[in-house]
Amino acid sequence: MNSPAPPVTRAGRTTATPAVQTLDLVKTYQVKGRDEPVRALDGLSITVEPGIVFGLLGPNGAGKSTTVKILTTLAAADSGRAAVAGLDVTAEPARVRRAIGVVAQRSGADPVATGRENLLLQGRLYGMRGAELGRRADQLLSRFDLTDAAKRQVKTYSGGMQRRLDVALGLVHRPQVLFLDEPTTGLDPEARTAMWEEISRLAGDEGLTILLTTHYLEEADKLAARLAIVDRGRIVAEGTPDELKGELHGDAVHVELVRAPETDALDVYQSLGRVPGVRDITVDGRRVSARADDGAAAVPALLAALDQAGSPVAAVTVARPSLDDVYLRYAGRSFADAEGATR
Ligand SMILES: Nc1ncnc2c1ncn2[C@@H]1O[C@H](COP(=O)(O)OP(=O)(O)OP(=O)(O)O)[C@@H](O)[C@H]1O
């Protein structure tokens, strides 16, 4: 008899079967007019422990959708391995499809059917029937705040409502792993915030693992317990958002002076240069920027040094490193530059 899977602890590594695992995935596409094929995935490996939101973060074209397509059995890799819920995607595609829910970038809902009809149809596709299916549909409508709109055609829904229905559709058959491909792209800020709340709530569901792809740094930072940063078909960094940001050592400190230094800024440079743990000082008119190992701890000494240099301070801000900074460090280019680049 099989022994039960060991319990999963929030603290970190376990010996439980990973919810998602890929090893050295390679995928190329032949493109007309190009001699070299496009290398969408170039040895991509990830391991996702069960029960968490795992973020795959990268700019457009990094390879996120290709990874999701392979994991959801919609595309085959050239080489490498991929498994979901312990099932190899190539050897057992039908079982993989039962174990997963997929919310693709484009809605799969039928616009002329009602929200409830869409949920019932989806359930039937998974072999659900009768009262059990009706209860599940009503439960999901209520959970995603769609009960009042249950009998309206989906084409009358707002963008946020459609997206919530898409997620509900992905959950009808109670999957173990839910794939959310760019779940908030195209939503207005209010609907995006609402969707973030839904996803955070889902993350608490027993046993559900969510693999989320996004090119929004803020989204990954807010939702993901662990993150892998994808660039040019490879993982360039992996960890919790705090671990990734913590590796950057040091905060950005921005100071606004009451007035620009009178003659030149030399006094300011010299005074700040003597404050321990402060480096990379720049002075631009009234704005002074620096990096500090511990920004908050450095502020009193910085203020005193500026006061001595005859430059009183109007405002100070200390910013922890952002995922933008992380991306720059690991991918060697800024997120915005990567988004603009073609591969
Ligand atoms: N069917 C295809 N034919 C040719 N090239 C493709 C195809 N699908 C993806 N690619 C290319 O593979 C690379 C990875 O694309 P992919 O869609 O996986 O990236 P992504 O990170 O999901 O970006 P996006 O957020 O824009 O979907 C890109 O260079 C893309 O142009």
Along the chain (343 residues), what's the average pLDDT of each consecutive run of 10 residues? 41 70 96 90 96 92 93 96 96 96 90 97 94 96 95 95 94 95 88 88 84 90 93 94 82 88 77 86 84 88 88 90 76 73 54
Assess whether the C-beta atom of 31 lies below 6 angstroms from ligand 1. Answer: yes
pLDDT of residue 263: 67
Does residue 326 belong to any structural domain of this protein?
A: no
Q: Say yes or no: 309 and 177 in one domain.
A: no
- Answer whether residue 215 is part of any domain: yes
Q: Is residue 343 lining ligand 1, measured as CB closer than 6 Å? A: yes
Both 237 and 282 in one domain: the answer is no
Distance 19 CA to ligand 1 centre (A): 24
- Residue 161 within any structural domain of the chain: yes
Q: What are 195-233's pLDDT values in tens digits?
A: 898 898 888 777 799 999 998 888 999 999 999 999 999
Three-class DSSP category at 324? helix
Which atom of ligand 1 is the closest one to the Cα of 215?
25
Q: Which parts of the chain fold into alpha helices (H)?
A: 64-71, 93-99, 115-125, 130-143, 159-171, 189-203, 217-223, 241-246, 266-273, 295-308, 323-331, 335-340
Q: Are residues 254 and 228 in the same domain?
A: no
* pLDDT tens-place string over residues 182-196: 999 888 888 889 889
pLDDT at 309: 83
Residue that finishes a domain, picked among 196, 227, 245: 245
26 lines ligand 1 (CB under 6 A): no
Does residue 91 belong to any structural domain of this protein? yes
> Residue 341 has what pLDDT?
66
Q: How far is the CA of 334 from the centre of ligand 1 (A)?
A: 19
- Ligand 1 contact, 29 CB (< 6 A): yes
Do 123 and 25 have their domain in common? yes
Predicted pLDDT at 44: 97
| Distance between Cα 106 and ligand 1 center (Å) | 15
Q: In whole angstroms, what separates CA 286 from the centre of its chain?
A: 36
Instruction: Give the domain range for residue 169.
Output: 20-245
Q: Name the burial class of residue 306, with classes exposed (0-12), middle (13-18) and buried (19+) by CB atoms within 10 angstroms of its CB.
A: buried
- In this prediction, residue 15 carries a pLDDT of 58
Ligand 1 pocket check for 164: Cβ under 6 Å: no
**Would you state the pLDDT for residue 10?**
42
pTM of the shown model: 0.79
DSSP-derived pairing of the beta strands 278-284 and 287-292: antiparallel
Secondary structure of residue 99 in the 3-state scheme = helix
Give the tokens for residue 156.
Answer: 């009358």
The pLDDT value recorded for residue 60 is 84
ipTM of this predicted complex? Answer: 0.95
CB atoms within 10 A of CB 64: 27
In a domain, 15, yes or no: no
Task: Decide: 291 in ligand 1 pocket, CB within 6 A.
Answer: no
Length of the chain: 343
CA dihedral 269, 272, 273, 278 (to 10 degrees): -130
Rounded to the nearest angstrom, the gap between the alpha carbon of residue 216 and the centroid of all alpha carbons in its chain is 7
Nearest CA, atom 3, ligand 1: 29
Residues 266, 163: one domain?
Answer: no
Measured by CA distance, the residue closest to atom 4 of ligand 1 is 29
Number of domains in the chain: 2
The answer to whether residues 199 and 113 belong to one domain is yes
Tokens 């792809």 -> residue: 213
Beta bridge partners of residue 215, listed in sequence order: none
- Tell whether 134 is covered by a domain: yes
Q: Per the domain annotation, does 330 fall within a domain?
A: no
Residue 127 lies in a domain: yes
Residues 301 and 199 in one domain: no
